[in-house]
Every structure is written in structure tokens, then in C-alpha cells.
Chain A
């Protein structure tokens, strides 16, 4: 069990013949991900990595039947168009890996999403990994065995580091979700916490946040309020040494006020009862100590 996708999910890749799209679709296929179609304008009719390629999503859908998720790798100037196409094709889950999309295009994408039932994850994110089942994006596939810890994060390699430490502690992961490092994103921490809350396979959640915005504080309030702290929540906030007003790599990682500094976020999390991890090297150890190596945690 996992959230958002599993080994049976029928996946399409938008931008499958591009350098990045092709590289990662190949790795995902090797991990058993059920990629049934690819879209690449002008390349319809070809096969790429053994997957049929179509000119449009509509054509892909007509040939393969309903699709469960799309993974978008198209270049940033074309991303808004690709998202609109996915919404038109009524694909329930849209994962946008593309980095460097203008803020204005994401504001427009959010407006479009409001009129549809689809969920968007990203952009500028590593996507989704269900260990042992499927990989929608670019997360290293063999980083952790399946297990009962859910991971949700705004970053990439920091998330992989966390997953690896959890695996090293002898535990495993139900699903890794990268929600992206941009200021405007499709799905926030609160929504992913809801999904982990409902997922019987997930026993505890690790939330990896950073400076900028107030998503982490909102999620901690939601967890300690509506979700009744039903499953333990661990939190790590990166950027304690980041100076004010400077963008730290991610477009959304900028401390604009005291309230969105790492220290202030970590304090809010602590006050809400979140187990706050202060040091990068202590992730696996902290989770293990708190949960114990129970059969449930190992999964």
C-alpha cells in the first residue's frame, strides 16, 4: 500500500523522447513502473524504450484507455501548455518535474486546476517513489526498501539522504513525495499529510521543509488539529544558516520575514508536538529511537 500510485497505475510520460524524460522513463521502466504511453509532438507512431509514442495526450488516451497519472518533463516555456493538456485529458494525477517555470504560468496553472478534479504535484520536484512498486519522476529507485514511513519534502537530494538514513536504520518507506521548491506549487504539505493519514500502510510521516513561505507551520497546525496527531510526525527544516532576502537555489527558498526563517519554523513545529530533527545526520536515528524497530515500522 502507498499513496497516490502503485505498481498497477497506468502512467504516461509527457516529453518522453527528450534527454531527461527519456533517461528517467528508462530507469522507471526498469523498476517495474507501468508506463503505457509517451507523448512527444511530431513523434507519434514511433516506439521509444519499447513504449508507444503519441503526438497528443488525447491520442494516447484513445489508444491505451484511461490513464492514472502523467509525468511532465517538457521544457519550462511549454510546461503550462502540457499541464493544460493533461487537465483536458482528465488525468487524475499530474506530476511536473520541470524546473524554471515562470511564476505567472504557475499562477495560471493553479487557476486552471481549480476547475478540475485532477491533482498536480510540483513543479520543480523529484516526483514520487513507491519503493518496490513504481517511480514517477527522478528519485533514485533503490534508495530504501518498502516500509511504513511516509516522506514528504520540498527538495530532492536532501530527501534521498533522509530515505537512505531511514533504510540504514533498518526501517522502510511507504511513499516518498517531493512537492517541489517553487513558490507556487500544486499540492502542499497539508494535502499530503491527509493522504498519509488515510493510508493504512503509513505509520509515521517525515516532513522535510525549508525557509520561505508558511507551509510547514500550516501543516503542523493541521496535523495537531484536524488530524489529531494520530500518526507521529517528524520534521526537519533546512536553512538555519541562510541569510535574509537571498534565494537559496530553490525559487521558493527565500527568507522574507522573521516568521519564515528556519529557526522560527522549527519552533512552531516543536510547539505543535512535531518531533523536530535539528541535525542532518540524525534523521534515521531519531525516527528509529522514537518508533522502535517494531514489525509495523519495518513493514
Chain B
């Protein structure tokens, strides 16, 4: 599940015939000249294209009156970095800037198609408190949040939307039908494009009707086999990822950096999370989540080790393998191969258990790897790695 950028999400809205304001996409400085005075009535909204919410508060959105000011604002943003309260501590490089028409807004709504895990089906979430995040709406005015199930093929019966429109949403009579159309098109796009989120916030009611002023979309990567368009969009964004994240993606392993200093390599997502928790409860912080999966081969595991060894902020590495389908000797062989390329500078503690654990020990012994200790007992292993950390 991967986020699209706003300008990409807008293309989905456009294809679905959901009204959006006119815009100019700036990817390079020569695009700036497309922002001409008189291009449209009203002012300009200049928005940094980064895959994280909270842009407005972080200075990634500027509203200006004149084309010259818009060009200046866009020029400043392009190539700069933006850290928001939702970008997980890292600054994101701004590679595109979207400049849209500033329109007169009478009212703002929130509209999103999203999966309801409780119902095991997607729903439309709609609120008359547009502009703020859905979590904030749910917290401050839950009564203002309407939830309408999306049926098979993305259908939403119009009578349900009509009751919401005349009820809690208080949509003026002349605009009820166009509201229903926008909501239905949103649900349809969510289903037919295999999205896991399509959010329009705000959905503005202007004197000329509804307009989607901002859009967020998240695609289901498991559906790429039937959505080549989604895959292409995500590929464009791959440059947003860090080197380590790119490498993990190419290897087909799950990797999430979390900021501590003990690198982790585990088989299985649940065990990986529980192992990180265990390190934390022993007074140290894990650097990452890394699940090599059940069926990984030597090459994939070697890649995973290389990824960890490349990080220079680690003070130790912890390996926790519950060998079943995954064989411990594959882990050992991969570690030896990775160590040839880049010597192990920090201590590595491995808890190896199950399938072919003796073969693994033999391989590691033969390789005379310094800095490597093997345990079968998990408690002993975690104590060792956390103690090493403490001394360093």
C-alpha cells in the first residue's frame, strides 16, 4: 500500500469526472513560465508535492494573489526539503510543485473512501467539518462523521447519500444531486482502481458547485497485476525512498527504519515486532523492523545483511531466526558472504533455532567471523546484545 502524490491523485479524480480546480504542475524551473497572470480568475495556491500529510502547518502550502508571487513561491519550494509532523522525522525532497487556482469557498466538506476493517468492506466517510483531518473530526465532533458502506463494484445507493445530504451534512437543495454524483464517483474510483484510500479534503462547495481542492490516494500494491497504471505511478515516486528502503523493496523484504541503534533481522513479521519490543524492554532501542520472510534464499538474506551493515549508526546487530521453512544454514551462509564484502564492524548476536542450526554453527565457525556470537536461548541472546550496546 503506497501513497500517491497529490497531483497523481488528481489524475484519478479527473479520469473519474470529479471536478477539480485548474492547475499547473511545476517539475523544473522552465515550467514556471506556465504560471501567467490572467491564466485564471482569483489567486494562486502553491503546494509542495510530498507524500506526507501536514503540509500546510510545515509551510508547504502558500496562498498568494499574483502570478509573479506564485512563481517566486514555487521556485523557492522546488528542490527544497520539507519535514512535516507526518513525515516520520525525515525531510522529504520537493520534486514537484502544484499551483492551483484559489477559488471562493462557501463551505468545506470531508469525503473519503476507505476500508472499514470492522465491516470488512469499504465505506464512504463524509463530514461537514472539512479541512481538518479525519482523526480530529472523529475526536472533536464524531456526530458530524457519516459512514456509508460501499457495495460490490463500488456501488453506493443514492438514497443513502440523499439522507446524509439532507440530514447531518445540510447540503443546500440545488447541490444535493451533484454531491451524490461526486460521492458515487469517489466510491467507484476507489473500487475500480484498487485503492485502499481516496480522500478529498476539503471538498469545497463554491458558488459554481463542488470542487475537490486536495486529494490523497493510496494504492493496493498487491493488485499491481491488474493495475499497471498504479504500478507506473508508484515507480515514479520510488525516488522518494531512502537507499535502504529501495534496496529492501528490490529484494522483496519488509524493512522499516524506526531510529534506534540495534539493527534487527528476523524471520516473520510478528516475531520481528515482538523482537523489537523485547530489545526495548531490555533498555535499548531497535533501529529497524526487518522481516526476511519464510522462503528467502541466500541472496535475499545476504542483501538484508548488507542493508544493515551499510548503516553506520548501528552499535550492534541482533538476528532472531525461528527456523522452520527458513533454514538457519541459509542465514549463516548469507552472513558469511555479506561479511566478505563489508567486514562486520559492530558485534552481531544471533539467536538461531530449528532447521539446520548445527550446519549454521559449522559454517560460522569455519568462516572465523569476529564479532559474532550464537545462542539458542532467546533471553540469553537479547541480554547479550543489549549489554554489548551498553558498553559501547
> Which A residues fall within an 8 A CB radius of B?
20, 76-77, 100-104, 106-108, 110-111, 138, 140, 153-161, 164, 181, 183-184, 208, 210-214, 236, 238-243, 245-253, 257, 262, 278-281
Contacts and interface: CB of A to CB of B under 8 A. Distances in A.
A184 B285 CA distance: 31
B125 interface: no
B88 interface: yes
A239 B278 contact: no
Across the A-B interface, give the 3 residue pairs with the lowest CB-CB distance, nearest first: A155-B270, A249-B269, A157-B268
A104 B271 contact: no
B277 A262 contact: yes
Contacts of B270: 153-159, 181, 208, 210, 238, 249-250, 253
Nearest to A139: B324
B6 to A, nearest CB: 17
B291 A214 contact: no
A184 B273 contact: no
Interface in B277-334: 277-281, 285-286, 289, 291, 294-295, 322, 324-325
Contacts of B353: 164
Contacts of A110: 120-121
Interface residues of B, number: 53
B138 to A, nearest CB: 8
B117 A236 contact: no
Contacts of A160: 322, 324
A24 B347 CA distance: 36
B14 interface: no
Contacts of B135: 257
A76 B220 CA distance: 13
Contact of B267 (A157, A211, A238, A242): A157
Given A107-B120, A155-B268, A156-B294, 18 more contacts: A102-B226, A103-B223, A156-B268, A157-B270, A158-B270, A158-B274, A160-B324, A161-B274, A183-B117, A210-B273, A238-B271, A240-B280, A242-B258, A249-B254, A249-B289, A253-B270, A280-B275, A281-B382
A281 B275 CA distance: 9
B278 A280 contact: yes
Contact of B277 (A101, A161, A214, A240): A240
Contacts, number: 161
A158 B268 contact: yes
Interface of B: 1, 86, 88, 115, 117-118, 120-122, 135, 152, 191, 194, 196, 220, 222-223, 225-226, 254, 256, 258, 260, 266-281, 285-286, 289, 291, 294-295, 322, 324-325, 353-354, 378-379, 382
B274 A245 contact: no
A164 B279 CA distance: 20
Interface-centre pick from A184, A252, A281 (highest chain B CB count, 10 A): A281
Contacts of A106: 120
Q: Which of A20, A236, A242, A246 has the most CB of B within 10 A?
A: A242
Contacts of A210: 270, 273
Contact of A108 (B117, B152, B258, B274): B152
A272 B54 CA distance: 36
Nearest to B138: A257
**Binding site of A, secondary structure by majority: helix, strand, loop or mixed?**
loop
18 contacts: A102-B194, A103-B115, A104-B223, A161-B378, A239-B277, A241-B286, A242-B256, A242-B273, A246-B88, A249-B272, A250-B269, A251-B222, A253-B270, A279-B277, A279-B278, A279-B281, A280-B277, A280-B378
Nearest to B281: A279
A278 B117 contact: no
A76 B223 CA distance: 9
A239 B222 contact: no
Contacts of A108: 152
Contacts of A101: 222
Contact of A103 (B220, B258, B260, B285): B220
A245 B133 CA distance: 14
Contacts of A239: 273, 277
A241 B277 contact: yes
B110 to A, nearest CB: 16
Interface centre among B120, B225, B256, B294, by most chain A C-beta atoms within 10 angstroms, is: B120
Nearest to B280: A241
A248 B268 CA distance: 10
Contacts of A281: 278, 378-379, 382
A236 B279 CA distance: 16
Contact of A157 (B115, B277, B279, B324): B324
Given A103-B115, A249-B291, A76 B278 contact: no
Nearest to B254: A249
A179 B152 CA distance: 24
